[in-house]
Amino acid sequence: MTAALQVQDLNRSFGALNVTRDVTMTLERGARCALIGPNGAGKTTLVNLITGVLRPSSGTVLLNGEDITALSQAVRARRGLARTFQINQLFRGLSVLENICMAIGERDGENNNMWRSAGAKRSVIDEALDHLDSLRLVDDALRLVRELPYGRQRLVEIAIALAQKPRVLLLDEPAAGVPSSESHLILDVVANLDPDIAVLIIEHDMDVVFRFAREIVVLVQGAVFTQGTPKEIMSNEDVRAVYLGQEGHDAVQRGGRHG
Amino acid sequence: MAANDPTGAQSAIVTPVRDAAATAARDRAAEYLVSRHRFRWAEALPWLACIAVFFLFPDRLTFGSQVLVMVLFALSLDLILGYAGIVTLGQAAFFGIGAYTVGLGAARLGWTEPVSGLFAAFFVAALAGFISGWFLLRYRGLTLLMLTLATAIMMQEAGNLGSEFSGGYDGLPGLVFDPLLGRFEYDLYGRTNYVYALVVLAVVFYFVRRIVYSPFGQALTGIRENVRRMHAIGSPVHWRLVTVYTIAAGIAGVAGALFTQTNAYVTLTVFDFENSAKVMVMLILGGTGRLYGAFLGAAVYMIMEDYFSKLSPTFWQFGIGLLLVLAVLFARRGVLGLFEQFGAYFTKEKSKGAKP
């Protein structure tokens, strides 16, 4: 069976700075993979390369076995590659329902229609409401996104990506900035995603990573440092050194400031 | 029609157990989207006002048709600026192309039939919009602003270079057009012109209204609200923008053609930067991103300009400036926004009174 997503020898440099170096990784169908690594490791850059926001300097990206390296972001999205953003990218002046309908409309090509009224296709609205239902957002359906509390906006961020009916879903720190009292809402959604979707999640919270992921890729300075099952990663001394080194560094800085 | 089908059909298809409150919430949400495009009675007001003007001010109809032309022009800008968020200072380019398509057609080719002239103006201006839009809409913000401005200036200069053909800044005076539909002669009071302009405006308005409420129109709003997300959900953003830019250029061309036909002359000043800027001021004054913002803004601007210039032929622009400053300070969503605020206030008061 072909993998849902394959990244081969991916490189990207900005001038002399190599932010992605020879990254090779595979997401099987239904994968639950976590991408971790210290700040500045190039995690978001990798997502941008996979989704087509950025073009790689070299290397290939395969979606269901097809080479999509030369395709635009929009074409990749229509072929089943969806993402969420680390910082919300929502249609803030529109209602929650309209946000979801937007994604469905683009997926179905409905948004090319200039003549029919946007509300005329009941199936689109019903599907959007089903998505909202499963994320318990129906009561907010008619509220403008910008009026929602941040945690709920984060849910809409995921709901839009799910409405694309993706085969591969990239979640860029889905719970970032959400108060801990609300983060369980988002983590529940992440834990209950359709088992057929291959999911790559970027996350800093190790509890989330170990609860969610069946495999972990550790990225350090743009290159794959190591990859394996959560158990392997947890017991890997080198990974600890990377993280402890980071934390040790922070602790020293903190100590220095106070002392 | 499926759109008008009541809630029954939906609850028959979706079977999962859902309590009554949740179903009600769903229905309320769906109903909002389904009914949003429906005609509201308040929409009849501007059109009734236009008809009333015909009977109440029979000696101001020439001015009235100029207002209608500007409403149409502002509507074209609203489609791209208000809905798609394309900031342009070059809309006069397409207004001018439409104006000269009809003007040159009549003066050089003897094409004096007015209605077919409008169609010709639409297609020529739309073609120009398509070609320039294809190149320019890769840019946004200030870059786009300068490039669209340059387009209008280039058109003007092209007309100036070929002044033997175009008539240059002296223009093409004394154009004569066939009677409308072969029957209606143009009278001294501009009654034919007024009705003509009003009918054209109504027809174009109907098309624009359909576009705005369509899924395509929603996608334009999406591009305005967050273009990064539109790319991420698979929207062919550039195509969408080129499409709407082409349509808006065509509409501006129709407005320009009407301008030439109702004035029976045209000069290169139609390409002026002032013309592009004026139509943007009108739109901001009326309220962007709403259909009747163009209507209200153009009417308020033109009437104020007329009034102030009679009050003080030298300082009338001060009055317009003051109006714009007041609008920006106190009516950020335009005159239409003010009306909506009042409307919301009164409905609140009423519901308070109903349920003490």
With the C-alpha atoms ordered B148, B214, B237, B224, is the resulting torsion angle positive or negative? Answer: positive
Residue B311: its pLDDT value, please? 84
Q: Which residue, chain included where needed, has tokens 């207004």?
A: B95
What's the pLDDT tens digit per position in B205-215? Answer: 999 999 999 99
Q: Does B35 touch chain A (CB under 8 A)?
A: yes
Q: Dmax of chain B from CA atoms?
A: 77
Residue B224: its pLDDT value, please? 93
Pick from A6-15, A36-45, A214-223, B346-355: least confident: B346-355
Task: State the pLDDT confidence band at A244, using cuts at 50, 70 and 90.
Answer: low
Q: Does B215 touch chain A (CB under 8 A)?
A: yes
Query: Quick check: is B356 in a domain?
Result: no
Mean per-residue pLDDT of chain A? 86
CA distance B30 to B35: 9
Task: State the pLDDT confidence band at A250, using cuts at 50, 70 and 90.
Answer: low
Q: Does B37 touch chain A (CB under 8 A)?
A: yes
CB contact under 8 A, B10 and A122: yes
Query: Quick check: is B163 in a domain?
Result: yes
Residue B31: its pLDDT value, please? 84
Picking from A74, A91, A119, the nearest residue to B35 by CB comes out as A119
**A223 has which bridge partners?**
A220
Which residues, 6 or more positions from B209, have their beta carbon under 8 angstroms from its beta carbon?
B291
Residue B242: its pLDDT value, please? 96
Task: State the pLDDT confidence band at B122, using cuts at 50, 70 and 90.
Answer: very high
The residue among B266, B83, B14 whose CA lies nearest residue A114 is B83
Checking DSSP bridges between strand A17-27 and strand A5-14, what pairing results, if any? antiparallel
Distances (CA, A) of A8 to A37, A63, A200: 19, 12, 16
B27 by Cβ neighbours in 10 Å (0-12 / 13-18 / 19+) ranks as middle
Q: How many CB atoms sit inside 10 A of residue B182's CB?
A: 8
What's the pLDDT tens digit per position in B140-156? Answer: 888 999 999 999 999 99
Which residues, 6 or more positions from A228, have their beta carbon under 8 angstroms from its beta carbon?
A215, A216, A236
Query: Is residue B65 within 8 Å of B244, Cβ to Cβ?
Result: no
Q: What is the DSSP letter of A3?
A: -
Checking DSSP bridges between strand A198-202 and strand A215-220, what pairing results, if any? unpaired
Q: How many helices (H) and strands (E) does chain A have?
A: 9, 10
Look at residue B135 and tell me whether its pLDDT is greater than 70. Answer: yes
Picking from B5, B30, B226, the nearest residue to A89 by CB comes out as B226
CB contact under 8 A, B225 and A93: yes
Give the DSSP H or E segment for B185. none
**CB contacts, 8 Å: A125 with chain B:** 29-30, 33-34
Give the DSSP H or E segment for B257. helix B237-263
Q: Does B227 touch chain A (CB under 8 A)?
A: no
DSSP B51-119: HHHHHH-GGGHHHHHHHHHHHHHHHHHIIIIIIS----S-HHHHHHHHHHHHHHIIIII----HHHHHH
CA distance A43 to B12: 46
Three-state DSSP class for residue B258: helix
**Separation in Å, CA of A106 to nearest CA in chain B:** 6
CA dihedral A245, A18, A88, A28 (to 10 degrees): -90
Residue A252: its pLDDT value, please? 46
**CB contacts, 8 Å: B5 with chain A:** 122
Distances (CA, A) of A247 to A39, A252, B259: 11, 9, 71
Tell me the backbone φ, ψ of residue A91, rounded to 5 degrees. Answer: -90, 85
Look at residue B184 and tell me whether its pLDDT is greater than 80. Answer: no
CA distance A6 to B68: 59
CB contact under 8 A, B215 and A94: no
Which amino acid does the sequence have at B234? G
* CA atoms within 13 A of residue A183's CA, in its CB half-sphere: 12
| pTM of the model as a whole | 0.87
* CA atoms within 13 A of residue B88's CA, in its CB half-sphere: 33
Q: What is the DSSP letter of A35?
A: E
Give percent of chain B with pLDDT exceeding 70: 92
State whether ipTM is beyond 0.90.
no
CB contact under 8 A, A130 and B211: no
Look at residue B7 and tell me whether its pLDDT is greater than 60. Answer: no
Domain range for residue B101? 50-316
Q: How many CB atoms sit inside 10 A of residue A21's CB?
A: 17
Checking DSSP bridges between strand A32-36 and strand A198-202, what pairing results, if any? parallel
Q: Is A52 left (phi over 0), alpha (psi -120 to 50) or beta?
A: left
Give the DSSP H or E segment for B256. helix B237-263
CB contact under 8 A, A120 and B34: yes
Q: Does A6 touch chain B (CB under 8 A)?
A: no
Three-state helix/strand/coil letters over B141-194: HHHHHHHHHHHHHHHHHHHHHCHHHHCHHHCECCCCCCCECCCECCCCCCHHHH
CB contact under 8 A, B216 and A112: yes
CA distance B72 to B84: 18
CA distance B85 to B225: 8
Query: Quick check: is B352 in a domain?
Result: no
Q: Does B158 touch chain A (CB under 8 A)?
A: no
Q: What is the DSSP letter of B266?
A: B
Which residues, 6 or more positions from B58, have their beta carbon under 8 angstroms from its beta carbon?
B189, B191
Q: How many CB pairs under 8 A join A and B?
A: 149
Residue B6: its pLDDT value, please? 43
Mean per-residue pLDDT of chain B? 85
Three-state DSSP class for residue A34: strand
Of residues A1 and B19, the one with the higher pLDDT is B19
Q: Does B326 touch chain A (CB under 8 A)?
A: no
Q: Which residue of A has its CA nearest to B229?
A: A89
Query: Quick check: is B337 in a domain?
Result: no
Look at residue B2 and tell me whether its pLDDT is greater than 60. Answer: no
**CB contacts, 8 Å: B241 with chain A:** none
Query: Is residue A124 within 8 Å of A116, Cβ to Cβ?
Result: no
Residue A167: its pLDDT value, please? 93
CATH code, domain with B206: 1.10.3470
Tell me the backbone φ, ψ of residue A155, rounded to 5 degrees. Answer: -65, -40
B184 by Cβ neighbours in 10 Å (0-12 / 13-18 / 19+) ranks as middle
Domain boundaries, chain A: 5-90+165-258
**A36 has which bridge partners?**
A218
What's the pLDDT tens digit per position in A190-211? Answer: 888 889 999 999 988 887 888 8
> Structurally, how many domains does chain B consist of?
1
Q: Does A114 touch chain B (CB under 8 A)?
A: yes
Three-state DSSP class for residue B146: helix
What's the pLDDT tens digit per position in A150-205? Answer: 888 999 999 999 999 999 999 998 888 888 887 888 888 888 888 999 999 998 88
Picking from B30, B225, B229, the nearest residue to A125 by CB comes out as B30
CB contact under 8 A, B26 and A138: yes
Q: Which residue of A has its CA nearest to B220?
A: A111
The residue among A213, A221, A207 whose CA lies nearest residue A38 is A221
Q: How many CB atoms sit inside 10 A of residue B21's CB?
A: 10
CA distance A196 to A1: 14
CATH fit for domain A5-90+165-258, picks 3.40.50.300, 3.30.1330.80, 3.40.50.2300, 3.30.420.40: 3.40.50.300
CA distance A202 to A216: 10
**A81 has which bridge partners?**
A168
Of residues A78 and B43, the one with the higher pLDDT is A78
